[in-house]
Structure 1
Amino acid sequence: MVRRRLTIDEEALWDALTRSVRPLRPGQRRPAPVATPTPTPKIGLTPPLRPATPAKPVATPAATLDSSWERRIRSGSLTPEMSIDLHGHSLAAAHNRLNQALAQALAQDARIMLVVTGKPPKNAGGAGTARRGAIRGEIGHWLETSPYADRIASVRIAHPRHGGDGAIYLILRRKK
C-alpha cells in the first residue's frame, strides 16, 4: 500500500493532537516524534539541532520483589502497619481516601499498607452488577497517577488471611 504525505494542515492538526494526549502510564513514555525537516533555502547553514534531554525515569512498582518478601507474602506472615477499607464508598470518595491514607502511611514511614477494595464481581453478565467492583477496577489507575506513585515499590494481591482477592498490599519504598 502506497502511503501519502500529510498536508501542512494535517501535520499541524496531528501535532496539536499528539501534544494534547496524556499517557496512561507516565513511567512508560514513548519517545517524542522526530520533526521532519522542512525544505529551507540553501542561503546559509542552519545550526544543528540539540539532542533532546531524556526525562528522568519514574520509579514504578516492581513485578517481583526479593525472595524474602515473596515468601512472606505467600505465607501470609506480613503484618500491615496500616490498612484502609474502601469498599462501600463512591469512586470519588474512595480515591480521595486512598490518597489521604497513602500520605499518612508515608508520613509514618509505614512499609506495608493493606487496601481493602472489595471482592471482584463473580459474574459480569448478571443483572444489577454493573457497579460492583468499580473501585477494584480503578485502583490500579489511581495508584499509577498518584502523586505518591514513585514511593510504591510493589502492589500485590493480599493473602486470604487479609482479604485475598478483595484486598491488596502496597509495599512502600523507604525514604531516600
Structure 2
Amino acid sequence: MPRRSLSPEEQALWAALTRSVKPIRAAARMPAPAVVPIKPVEPKRLTPSSARPFVAPPARSPAAILDSGWERRIRGGNLVPDMTIDLHGHTLSSAHVRLGQAIALGLAQGARILLVITGKPPKSAAFDSHSRRGAIRGEIGHWLETGSYADRIASVRAAHPRHGGDGALYVILRRSR
C-alpha cells in the first residue's frame, strides 16, 4: 500500500507534537557507540551435581468421583447450577470460544457448578455408530482436559435428567485459591 504525504495541517500538528515531546533519558539522544567486537564466551560445562532434570509439577485433572455429599447431590438432581451455558447452534470453534469465556466468567464470579448444555444427538443417529454423539458433545471433554482452565476443574459429570440428562454436563470448578 503506497504511503500518502501529510497535508499542511497534518505537518503543522506533527511539528508541534514533536516539539512538545521530551526524551525520558538524555542518553536516548546520543548516537550509538562504535561497534566493539565481542569476544566469544565459552559455554558453561555442567557437572553432574549442577545438572538437574526438569520435573514438571503434577497436573491436576478432573476427578472421576467426588466425595459422597457431591455424589448424592448429583444422583438426586439436587445441584443448583451457578451458571448455565447453552452451546446450541454454535459451530465447533464458536462453542469452544464460548465455553472458555463462560468458564473464565464463572471463575471470576466464584461459581462452583456450571451447567453446559451441548444438546442431544438426533434420534435418527442412534443406529449410526459414527454419529452417536453430537459434534460439540464429542469434543467438549477434550476441550476441558486441554484448555487453559483444566487445572481449575474439579470434575465433569453427566447432568441429571432435570437439567438435560444426556444433552448436558455439570462442570464442577475447584474452590478459589
Where 1:123 maps in the other structure, the secondary structure is helix
Whether the 8 Å CA contact 1:120–1:165 is kept in 2: the answer is: no
Cα displacement (A) at 1:156 = 0.1
Whether the 8 Å CA contact 2:121–2:132 is kept in 1: the answer is: no
Where 2:48 maps in the other structure, the secondary structure is coil
Cα displacement (A) at 1:52 = 1.2
| Counterpart in the other structure of 2:66 | 65
Tell me, which stretches of 5 or more residues in structure 2 are unaligned?
1-45
| Counterpart in the other structure of 2:6 | none
Determine the C-alpha separation between the residues in 2 that align with 1:94 and 1:131: 19
Distance 1:64 1:132, change over 3 A: closer
| Counterpart in the other structure of 1:41 | none
**What letter matches 1:48 in structure 2?**
P
Determine the C-alpha separation between the residues in 1 that align with 2:146 and 2:164: 25
Tell me, which stretches of 5 or more residues in structure 1 are unaligned?
1-45
Deviation sequence 1:102-134 (CA, Å, 0-9, x none): 0000000000000000114542529xx869600
TM-score (norm 1): 0.67
| Counterpart in the other structure of 2:149 | 148
Determine the C-alpha separation between the residues in 1 that align with 2:127 and 2:153: 30
| Counterpart in the other structure of 1:123 | 126
**What letter matches 2:135 in structure 1?**
A
**What letter matches 2:141 in structure 1?**
G
**What letter matches 1:84 in structure 2?**
I
| Counterpart in the other structure of 1:48 | 48
% identical aligned pairs:
66
Where 2:114 maps in the other structure, the secondary structure is strand
TM-score (norm 2): 0.67
Cα displacement (A) at 1:67 = 0.1
- The size of the alignment, in residue pairs, is 129
Cα displacement (A) at 1:61 = 0.2
Aligned structure 1 segments of 4 or more residues deviating by more than 6 angstroms: none
Distance 1:123 1:48, change over 3 A: same
Quote the RMSD (CA, aligned, Å): 2.1
Higher helix residue share: 2
